[in-house]
A and B are shown apart, each in its own frame.
Chain A
Amino acid sequence: MSTMVEITLDGESARVPEGSTILDACRRKGIDTPTLCWAENLTPVNVCRVCVVEVEGSRVLVPSCSRNVEEGMVVATDTERVRTSRRMVYELLASSVEMDRATPEVLAWMDHYGARPDRMGDRSEIVTQAQPVKVQDDLYVRDYERCILCYKCVEACGDDAQHTYAIATAGRGFDAHISTEHDVSLPDSACVYCGNCIGVCPTGALMFKTEHDMRDAGTWDESKQSVTTTVCSFCGVGCNLELHVQDERIVKVTSPADHSVTNGHLCIKGRFGWQHAHA
């Protein structure tokens, strides 16, 4: 049994295990909280700030995804200050990057907080991340005008999964961007095509080429897709694969984030071996 900590969450007292984050506590209490840069299989980087909450005694808002609960903490998740900051994070992001391929949750939260990115000014008169799509091989598309710089791909490529370190954040400020060294092409970089960066990207900036091409052609239709779970047969590790099938073709391979072997991460064989099976 872990020690329990008593906190006040939106006016009600809650007992949560020591070492939990405020976000954990919110989830236990059924308080929905938006996140962008947090993922259960990655170390929290707390950079997007969309999960902020008000903690009594703190001058500024606090990122719930990475702040641990403390005995007696008084937390409010739906105050005017919290709503303003969350709405502004979405407005700021959506005024500079294309959000239309973001996950449905992201789009629902933007709606919930009434984000109006248009009021930042006309797209042609403000600075945005508009830039050409990067297609450098048959497997991936990198469309950085959709990138919200959540660092998830960097973490998945580095410490948290792949330990390849093919990509990192370069530049600074609004010019900060995900890059290989000297922006060399992905095939020229250390990339091993594990696809783990794609698996964690929340905005569709990184996409399997199959999915990207189908979306561009207007044929991508998740309502027509079924997901079959299987175990990868390329080696003996036993990774769980989720095969996404549309019109009797595999269109994408993922792995569950809570799977004990993969934590959601795979290698090139599991991720792309099916392409050869088709051929």
Chain B
Amino acid sequence: MPDLYFGAGDEATEAEKDAVAEALADYGPVVVRETERLVHAGRSRTRERRHLLLPALHALQRSAGWISPGGLDHVCGELEVPPAEAYGVATFYHLFTHDPPAADNTVHVCDDVACRLVGAVALIDDLRVEGYHVKASPCLGQCERGPAVLVQRTGRPDLTVTAVDDGPVTTSEVAVAISSESSTPSVSLAQTGSGDLRLLTRVGVVDPTSLDDYRAHGGFRALEEALRMGGDRVIAEVTASGLSGRGGAAFPTGVKWRGVADQEGRPRHLVCNADESEPGTFKDRVVMEGDPYSLVEAMTIAGTAIGAEQGWLYIRGEYPVAIGRLRHAIDEAYAEGLLGDDVAGSGIRFDLTLRSGAGAYICGEETALFNSLEGYRGEPRNKPPFPTTHGLFGEPTAINNVETLVNVPPIVLMGGEAYAAVGTKQSPGTKLFCLSGRVKRPGTYEVEFGATLRDLVDLAGGLIAGSEVRAVMLGGAAGSFVGPESMDLPLTLEATRAAGVSLGSGVVMVFDQHDDMVDTVRRIAEFFRDESCGQCVPCRVGTVRQEEVLVRLRRGADIEDERELLDDLAAVMRDASICGLGQTASGAIRSALDLGLLVSSGDSQGDRS
């Protein structure tokens, strides 16, 4: 342990000290355990305290509106973290600020791809004119009801703001929201009540704050059944179901679980990846806000099946409603003996901890997520080794997406084979899609694998009046654009793979003939530049140079003069980046180029409304 040296010489305020003490309250004395070091920046991994750095930083930001030098030094003293390292961690996240707060409230307005179609840029201007402290934000995961607004308030909980009536949020709605206690948007779905749902059956139906109501709607029956079956059979059923990861990589879930269950090493971890920050993605939010207990139940089944004593739910910090409901659900589950030392009387231990991120898309990458949880910068690790053997704290870890996990209770109840009866042979089951852009009813939709793009657009009410499909962004910013000729593409793993595209996180964002595609693609390039962790050269500098090319194109440069550079940038990012962010940062842009979307359309005003 190094001697800590505090150069800043500032003192924390009493309010900051109290906030930190509250955040650290339940964790007892310092216990230090060294584990294998997997990545640079920082001494060998120490356990038990360092992982509290992120919650402690949240406490500082919430209480004082910024990470003050005195506050940071105080946290470093409490957690025995060198100040330079803690500063490096704090400055990694968008939601932490490092100058004295400009205002009590910071209004984050999404100006990302979907929201800029529906007036985001104008809303930002209006709010600034009215004197608000506004920050333009990447996708806030509310693309179905944009422009999305998140308010960070000093001393009070964060809020999301949604429009009361149809149409975009107004400045007066923002004013009303800021003065209220908390945000309570209700989740309603176009499909609510439809008989074919597996994953969304309870969303919009059940009271998301009541464990009893969840039980009344069939909740926790799957957990009972799973505990009766035993871990090996649960894993066998999940394998038989053909369930594959919904976080983007489509890895077979049963294989992942078997791999962790077979490890000798202890402790083991189950991590739920609820970082959902891929532009255009909001399905996990809808599940967590509308049916939070189902995720708690699913994680408990998964954790007990693979022999993980500890579960971690890592959720993006921009989801205050989901965070609140999940914390409440976890507390209730503990109170009812469904979590803890003796899960539902089975004698099996499973603890569940919720941690929130602080504004960093990269922390959805699994190894970056581990680093973030451990209290380090969210920089991805080089793989191999893989999480199965060297995951969180260097210990065996299964990490799964929210949607992947909530498939598990139905699989346990109906059996793997019955589960696989719908969908296609290679893509069994149902899938959540996030419809946004120029459709009549944007939102989350659950369909059997095999539905086509056209089916989905029809389900969402078809296109808005006067629109024709110009392009569809499939799979998110890390995915690709397809043209109107692809409307009959079945959205299965096999068909999309054969077409050279990917389902990614289930994004279907529709653009029409009026939309400024050069600006859309430029915004995607800006997203990758802003979200690169900065660790490796191809992505840190490549994403900057790529965006510069797109800005030049928007100003009228000739694509032929830039093509060779774009090609080389794409090659080095795809081939030599450490992680998926850099490897996919050129994909959507390449596909737009191939579809001829990067020649100015003439009729372009990105912000029509």
Contacts and interface: CB of A to CB of B under 8 A. Distances in A.
Tell me whether A and B are bound partners: yes
Interface of A: 43, 45-50, 52, 60-61, 63, 66, 81, 84-85, 88-89, 92-93, 95-96, 119-121, 126-127, 148-149, 151, 154-155, 158-159, 163-176, 179-182, 184, 188-190
Given A84-B572, A172-B533, A173-B530, A181 B69 contact: yes
A52 B91 contact: no
A158 B41 contact: yes
Nearest to B569: A88
14 contacts: A46-B382, A47-B537, A81-B575, A84-B575, A88-B538, A89-B537, A96-B541, A120-B545, A151-B41, A159-B42, A166-B82, A180-B7, A182-B69, A190-B83
Contacts of A50: 537
A181 B8 contact: yes
A181 B73 CA distance: 9
A104 to B, nearest CB: 20
Contacts of A61: 575-576
B87 A182 contact: yes
B7 A165 contact: no
A171 B534 CA distance: 9
Given A61-B576, A174-B540, A168 B529 contact: no
Contacts of B530: 173
B2 interface: yes
B84 to A, nearest CB: 4
A73 to B, nearest CB: 13
B84 A52 contact: no
B37 A43 contact: yes
Most buried by A among B37, B40, B538, B552: B40
B39 A45 contact: yes
A180 B571 CA distance: 35
A96 B2 CA distance: 35
Given A45-B40, A46-B578, A88 B571 contact: yes
Contacts of A188: 7-8
B583 interface: yes
B492 interface: no
A181 B86 contact: yes
B577 A49 contact: yes
Interface in B576-595: 576-578, 583
Contacts of B360: 172
A155 B91 CA distance: 19
A196 to B, nearest CB: 14
B536 interface: yes
Contacts of B82: 165-166, 168, 190
Contacts of A167: 84
A35 B372 CA distance: 28
A127 B569 CA distance: 16
Interface residues of B, number: 57
B532 interface: yes
Contacts of B88: 168-170, 179
Nearest to B583: A60
B578 A47 contact: yes
B574 interface: yes
A169 B574 contact: no
B540 A176 contact: yes
Given A61-B575, A158-B42, A181-B84, A173 B540 contact: yes
Nearest to B67: A182
Interface string B529-554: 11111111110111111001000100
Name the 4 nearest CB pairs between A and B, nearest first: A176-B534, A165-B82, A88-B572, A181-B83
B262 interface: no
Nearest to B5: A190
B43 to A, nearest CB: 5
A131 B288 CA distance: 45
Given A46-B578, A47-B536, A168-B85, A189 B40 contact: no
B572 A190 contact: no
A173 B543 contact: yes
A120 B540 CA distance: 14
B565 to A, nearest CB: 6
Nearest to A89: B537
A225 B87 CA distance: 40
Interface in B1-43: 2, 4-5, 7-8, 37, 39-43
Given A149-B540, A176-B534, A189-B5, A168 B575 contact: no
A155 B533 CA distance: 18
A50 B572 CA distance: 10
Contacts of B2: 163-165, 190
B7 A85 contact: no
Given A43-B40, A49-B577, A92-B572, A174 B541 contact: yes
A166 B541 CA distance: 26
Interface string B86-130: 111001100000100000000000000000000000000000000
B72 interface: yes
B532 A172 contact: yes
B568 interface: yes
Given A127-B544, A181-B73, 17 more contacts: A47-B535, A47-B578, A52-B576, A66-B382, A88-B568, A96-B544, A121-B548, A126-B544, A154-B40, A163-B43, A165-B84, A170-B91, A171-B91, A174-B540, A180-B7, A181-B86, A188-B7
A84 B40 contact: no
Interface string B32-69: 00000101111110000000000000000000000001
A50 to B, nearest CB: 8
Nearest to A50: B537
Contact of B87 (A48, A60, A179): A179
Given A85-B575, A173-B531, A189-B7, A48 B536 contact: yes
Contact of B541 (A43, A84, A95): A95
Nearest to A66: B382
B236 to A, nearest CB: 29
Most buried by B among A49, A163, A182: A182
Contacts of B268: none
B91 A172 contact: yes
B377 interface: yes
Most buried by A among B37, B537, B538, B571: B537
A119 B565 contact: yes
Contacts of B576: 49, 52, 60-61, 85, 88-89
B537 A148 contact: yes
Contacts of B7: 180-182, 184, 188-190
A126 B546 CA distance: 11
Nearest to A68: B384
Contact of B548 (A127, A163, A169): A127
Contacts of B39: 45
Nearest to B567: A84
Contact of A190 (B84, B532, B536): B84
B565 A60 contact: no
A171 to B, nearest CB: 5
B545 A159 contact: no
Contacts of A180: 7, 84, 87
A195 to B, nearest CB: 17
Nearest to A129: B541
A49 B540 CA distance: 12
